[in-house]
Amino acid sequence: MPSPQRFCTACGSPLAAGMRFCSQCGQPVAGKGTGPQETPLPPVQPAPSSVPVATGGAERVLGIVPFLEQGLLSVIHFTLVVTDRRLIFRTWNPGSDEGMSDAENAVMEESCAISETVDEIAHFRQKDWSGGPWQQYRVMAPDAIPTGAPGTITVPLAGIANADIVCETRASTQDKLYIRDGNRQLAFDLMYSQGPYLFRILQPLLGDRVSMADHLHRRRGLDRLISGQEYQ
């Protein structure tokens, strides 16, 4: 007899067999149910932009996006940890963080196995990012996440004026994230077409303060080299 369909208890999304975390909202998957079918809960509604997201209690990790970068010649690598109070862009060093380096090499091998960029984009937009060494941050106290990671950037949710995600559709698997936080302007490269994945995490927290749009410009030649796009 086939196993019954399971659903995320936080957002109601269907869960594939063996998933440890919901690919839509990042909620840890509970143990197997005993009934014929688990009833999904209603989707989480976006928080109004004028209302603080967290009003008390322990800070919770809601989602993790593993591969972000800044820079062209001197690249800084980040893992983004999203809590109900802030965004933590934790740095990691490819020369010393063997787990993250191995994980990125595996993703790059996935990328190299796909000949067409549009197929790469489609592949990574559907990828399940719920497994990997970055999941260690789910069981850590958020205040401890930046420890040992110089250059980590923290952005309180309440201070975000707007966050814009721009998704490449044809020329690259490198999306962009732009954040305006008071007088601070931040920009990150979202590697491996993770823009839609990040948007699904941020939209319930930021409401209309976060946007996502497709970038339809096809970069060529020197323009692509200067932009740091390494894909064909």
Q: Write down the pLDDT at residue 109.
A: 95
User: Is residue 218 predicted with pLDDT exceeding 70?
Assistant: no
Q: Evaluate the CA torsion angle 10, 16, 19, 23 in order and state its sign.
A: negative
DSSP sequence for 141-184: -GGGTTTT-TT-EEEEGGGEEEEEEEEESSS-S-EEEEEEETTE
If you average pLDDT over residues 5-16, what whole number do you get?
67
Average pLDDT, the chain: 82
Q: How far apart are CA 194 and CA 198, in angstroms?
A: 6
Q: Write down the pLDDT at residue 183.
A: 85
The helix, strand and coil proportions of the chain, stated in percent and rounded to the nearest 5, come to 25, 30, 45
35-85 pLDDT per residue, tens: 333 334 344 444 444 334 445 689 999 999 999 999 988 999 999 999 999
Q: With H, G, I as helix, E, B as strand and everything else as coil, classify residue 206.
A: helix
84-118 pLDDT per residue, tens: 999 999 999 999 999 999 999 999 999 999 999 99
- The number of beta carbons lying within 10 Å of the beta carbon of residue 184 is 11
**Least confidently predicted of 36-40, 63-67, 151-155, 159-163:** 36-40
Architecture of domain 61-227: Roll (2.30)
The percentage of residues in the chain with a pLDDT greater than 90, rounded to a whole number, is: 63
User: Is residue 226 predicted with pLDDT exceeding 50?
Assistant: no
Determine if the pTM surpasses 0.95: no
Q: How far apart are CA 146 and CA 144, in angstroms?
A: 6
28-to-17, 120, 138 alpha-carbon distances in Å? 14, 27, 9
Q: Write down the pLDDT at residue 208.
A: 95
The percentage of residues in the chain with a pLDDT greater than 70, rounded to a whole number, is: 69
Answer with the residue of higher pLDDT: 36 or 192: 192
If you average pLDDT over residues 20-39, what whole number do you get?
54
Q: Write down the pLDDT at residue 56.
A: 61
Q: Write down the pLDDT at residue 73.
A: 83
Between strands 160-168 and 210-215, the pairing is parallel
Domain boundaries, the chain: 1-43, 61-227
